[in-house]
Amino acid sequence: MQPQRRARRSTDEIRARLVDAARELFTEKGYEATTTRDICRRSGVAQTQLFHNFGSKEGIYEAAFITPLVELVSKYITEFADARARATLDESISVLVNGLFDIASANRTVLLTALCRSALAPDPQAAPSDLLDHIAQTLHQMEVIDEPPPGIDVPAAIVTTAGMVFGVVLLEEMLFPAGSPRFSRERLTAEMIATIVHGAQHRQSPAAPTKKPPKRLGLR
């Protein structure tokens, strides 16, 4: 009786196995400590297949983390834009803060890795992180409300709001002493929303420039 041949794996199955293994290892060991050999050993796929499908360790890291996160950010911003017209200022700010908090907390390791790799690059300006640049470009294209309260600088408000949310999530070790209890997500987001909404609602309109009376021309 001849042994049965194992069914040949499809390209989709091979890619999925490699991506799943890469995601596990990058999360466990970090980007630098993970090798393509590690990924192939865990996935049961030959290295030639990894390089054929993804080109390099950088390529499979992008497929495992960067591409899904970019798609998630784009999907969230699209849904937020669709709901914005039906929301009050308080609701818009709440959706924005909680959505960014979800993205930051669920992808904290990926974002920290991207920030570290960008900061340690020989010339970060020459080769910016695709992930970080996509998030930055997306934020600069957002509009929270069509008719903001008088005096509010919407583009600057969006950037500072995102900075507040991402900072609270990504800089947790710097904001809380070692061994101390962390604040709950509800406590943090409620305070951020209240701070932003209060600042927007109690903003005074910029004072109109005072017009000087025209000089009178007298005859000598």
- 36 and 116 within one domain: no
- 68 and 165 within one domain: yes
pLDDT digits (tens, 9 = 90+) for 73-129: 878 777 777 766 677 778 888 888 888 899 899 888 888 888 887 887 777 565 557
Give which of 89, 90, 111 is closest to 100, Cα–Cα: 111
State whether the Cα torsion 19-135-166-123 is positive or negative.
Answer: positive
Say what percent of the chain tops pLDDT 90. 31
The answer as to whether 75 is a domain residue is yes
- 70 and 119 within one domain: yes
Give the residue numbers spanning the domain of 43.
10-55
Q: How far is CA 50 from CA 36, 59, 113, in A?
A: 8, 9, 22
Q: Looking at residue 107, what is its pLDDT? A: 87
Q: Residue 59 corresponds to which tokens in the numbers above?
A: 């390529």
The answer as to whether 209 is a domain residue is no
Mean pLDDT along residues 167-195? 93
- 196 and 111 within one domain: yes
Distance, C-alpha 56 to centroid of its chain: 24
Q: Looking at residue 123, what is its pLDDT? A: 73
**What CATH number does residue 43 fall under?**
1.10.10.60
